[in-house]
Chain A
Amino acid sequence: MALLVTPLVLGAVFDLNQPANYLHWHFFQMSVSNFIVILLMIAVFIAAILIPFPKRQREP
């Protein structure tokens, strides 16, 4: 059931059947989706530095 419903919910939230939205800064423009991906990469980069790596259990 979840397998059937999840794409419908995602499709309703992220409607891709329309022209992309763009951000403009003077001569520079970028799609909102690309901008979100860049923000996500920065977030993952910071998280990768800050979140401690799980320590391996020592074998007896």
Chain B
Amino acid sequence: MWTTWVRERAVRTLPPEKLLPDRQPSYVSSWIYVFGVVTIAAFVVIVLSGTILGLKGPEWWHVTGIGHFFNSIHLWSVEIFFFAMVVHLWGKFFMAAWRGGRSRTWVTGAVTFLVSIGAAFTGYLSQQNFDSQWIASEGKDGLNSVGIGSFFNVADFGQMYTWHVILLPVAVAVLVIAHVLLVRRTGVVPPYPARGSTGRQGEGAS
């Protein structure tokens, strides 16, 4: 059966001791390695606060006190999300995190960053205030000039809201899951070997 093939392939690719490890290499004991998980934690808060905002609607988040509170939670978790993701990106860039067969991990991370920018942009467009109208009127000219304004219409609230609350969050979630599974498979990238050492670059994965 195909389910047997899928199970055997999945276990062979990512055995349980790699999927849920109980220890990490000693070089992971550094603050620079925490920003990936900070980004994921912020993403969870974004999704939870966004779900509440979506269920209650624009009038609630613009008029009521508790609506303002959840609107602010959503905004500031996005700020932390991008802040931590950029520090994570810098850390991985300067330790060349694509070494040792980790190119797909690097690429999924970079694509996640780009998709997240789209998610944030459609979020600004979904605010239902003068700010979102201004951003839409400015953004449409840029998107029309590159020829995609006909099917990605920033002045269409319904379309932008669907991108923001369904399509792009699902895309980010799928990419993050793939990114984390790839990290589990190849291990956390080690720092560069010390000068004069004989260790090969890219080794040391758990």
Contact = CB atoms under 8 A, between A and B. Distances in A.
Given A45-B90, A45-B91, A48-B91, A53 B83 contact: no
Interface residues of B, number: 12
Interface string B1-35: 00000000000000000000000000001111011
Nearest to B86: A41
B30 A53 contact: yes
B87 A48 contact: yes
Interface in A31-60: 37, 40-41, 44-45, 47-49, 51, 53, 55
B32 A48 contact: yes
A32 to B, nearest CB: 16
A48 B86 contact: no
A49 B83 contact: no
Contacts of A47: 31
Contacts of A37: 79, 83
Given A41-B83, A41-B86, A41-B87, A48 B29 contact: no
A45 B87 contact: yes
A22 to B, nearest CB: 15
B31 A51 contact: yes
A53 B29 contact: yes
Contacts of A45: 32, 87, 90-91
A48 B83 contact: no
Interface of A: 37, 40-41, 44-45, 47-49, 51, 53, 55
Interface of B: 29-32, 34-35, 79, 83, 86-87, 90-91
